[in-house]
Amino acid sequence: MSVRADEHRPPGLPNGWFAVAWSRDLQPGEVKRLHYFERDLVLFRGRSGQAIVLDAYCPHLGAHLAEGGRVMGDTIRCPFHGWRYDASGTCVEIPYCKRIPPKARVRGWDVVERNEMIFVWHHAEQKPPDWEVPTVAEIEDPDWTEYRTFDLEVPVHMQDMAENNCDPVHFHYVHSATAPPDSQMEYGEDGRFFRISSQNEHETPYGTFQMELERDSWGLGLTTVRMTGIPGAGLLMFSSTTPIDRDHTISRWLFTTTRNMADVAGEDFIEGMSTGVLQDMQIWKNKVHRANPVFCEEDKYLAEFRRWTRQFYSDTAAKGA
């Protein structure tokens, strides 16, 4: 066993809401093959417009429902023998047999479509959702620009990506910041929410302003980044980061700005956020996950974050991550 394999002990898959597709990429009657949470899945949009996610393999003889499966109403028909499954995963028709076996079902996943993304609730113990995906009002606000997107697949556990937000020192060494941002971190009452905020002076064509960067996170999968400070103007990034498996993650980012900032700072904001994550890639692609890292006294935000993440894991071994 290599040293890297021996030391690379990523935690399990966290519980929470995670995006599996952009809403615009799924039309009524369309079927897509997915692989997230170390499982093969099928995503389809019913004729009513409902987005539905099921486990991929028919319990009859194991056909993949996304490979030739056909949408019929709000059900999907297996390409092998025509068995049909609804949004709950229950078989509702066997065209050549009146009696449907009780075990004729696949796992149906809880799905919410919001903020231009299709979200799935993942829980290792298959417990139902106990919190909601927040609505990001700016995305539908006519005073804000049409959204832009950025997708990134990273060969690392999703927690390693999330920890960057609580690591101000790395901004100096990885992103060439002259000094680490002066950040404050706070946790919401329900425990699933935390906020990191920082301030710095920013020069614009309107003058120099004290800008505030506010990063809100719900669980390990959902984040907004808002930049404010210029009266009547703002910039927003909303993202969902989703585990493909324990060593691979996909992150989807949505950008929008107030229309009065689009030409002045919008492109710089998008480029700055996108360039920054690409600079992190070299680190992520070549690092290991330290389940028990050696922290120094200046790593207090990282230590707090590690403690906070434990609530999202069902695997008791992973809770020590």
Fold of the 137-313 domain: Naphthalene 1,2-dioxygenase Alpha Subunit; Chain A, domain 1 (3.90.380)
Fold of the 16-122 domain: Rieske Iron-sulfur Protein (2.102.10)
Question: Phi and psi for 298 in degrees, rounded to 5?
Answer: -85, 0
Cα separation, 57 vs 38, in Å, equals 14
Q: What is the pLDDT of residues 62-92, one digit of tens each?
A: 999 999 999 999 999 999 999 999 999 999 9
Output the pTM of the full model.
Answer: 0.90
One DSSP character per residue, 282-317 reads: HHHHT----SS----GGGHHHHHHHHHHGGG---TT
Cα separation, 271 vs 287, in Å, equals 25
Q: What is the pLDDT of residues 240-258, one digit of tens each?
A: 999 999 999 999 999 999 9
Asked if 196 contacts 165 with a C-beta cutoff of 8 angstroms, the reply is: yes
Q: Which amino acid is at 267?
A: E
Where are the chain's structural domains?
Answer: 16-122, 137-313
Asked if 252 contacts 151 with a C-beta cutoff of 8 angstroms, the reply is: yes
Q: What is the pLDDT of residues 268-317, one digit of tens each?
A: 777 877 777 888 888 988 988 888 899 999 899 899 999 999 999 997 54
H-helix or E-strand spanning residue 81: none
CB atoms within 10 A of CB 193: 17
